[in-house]
Amino acid sequence: MPRNIEIKARIAQVDALIPRVAAIADRGPVEIAQDDTFFRCDAGRLKLRTLSPSAGELIFYRRADQQGPKESFYHLTPTTEPDRLRETLGLAWGQIGRVQKTRILFMVGRTRVHLDRVQELGHFLELEVVLEDDELLEVGIEEAHGIMACLSVAPSQLIEGAYLDLLIRQQNTQ
């Protein structure tokens, strides 16, 4: 199963970070609207990412909900009927939440750098360092720390969990 090292950090403004990311990026920016629907799943997390009415991905992933760089295992399955698949999965497993965001994607070598504007939550940076099958975690962690340093992202900005977790916590405190 593919894996990466991932971090999420809260940032003040996406627009303020774009020039800094662009200065170290090999590719990008690409702006992507994403609508993620999460379903009940005991073995990890299961979400349907809708990119357009005719394009989406069913994504299963498993990772620790901790601050800092963490290993994430994932499996992607493309679909051309995301709305029908959402309905089917909702009937079978039940929806537990939805996250809508605009993502600006850059590539820094093998690292996907996401600058996210998440509805109801704010602005975030996400790094995904894609690992080779037999590659040590420490190599990816070191790479994530290096990019964080280049972008002046402090460890205190790191968050644990998924955007869905933040939305649920926010809703529970209102």
Q: For 108-142, how does the pLDDT look when each residue is reduced to its tens digit (9 = 90+)?
A: 999 999 999 999 999 999 999 999 999 999 999 99
Q: How confident is the model at residue 64, as a pLDDT? A: 78
Residues 134-158 have a mean pLDDT of 95
Q: How confident is the model at residue 168, as a pLDDT? A: 92
Count Cβ atoms within 10 A of the Cβ of residue 129 and give its class: 0-12 exposed, 13-18 middle, 19 or more buried: buried
Given pLDDT bands bounded at 50, 70 and 90, which one contains residue 171?
Answer: confident
Q: How confident is the model at residue 67, as a pLDDT? A: 76
Residues 11-34 have a mean pLDDT of 97
Ramachandran category for residue 31: left, alpha or beta (phi over 0 → left; psi -120 to 50 → alpha): beta
More confident residue, 116 or 173: 116
Q: Are 88 and 129 in contact (CB under 8 A)?
A: no
Per the prediction, the chain carries an average pLDDT of: 95
How far apart CA 52 and CA 43 sit, in angstroms, is: 27
pTM: 0.92
Q: Are 150 and 170 in contact (CB under 8 A)?
A: no
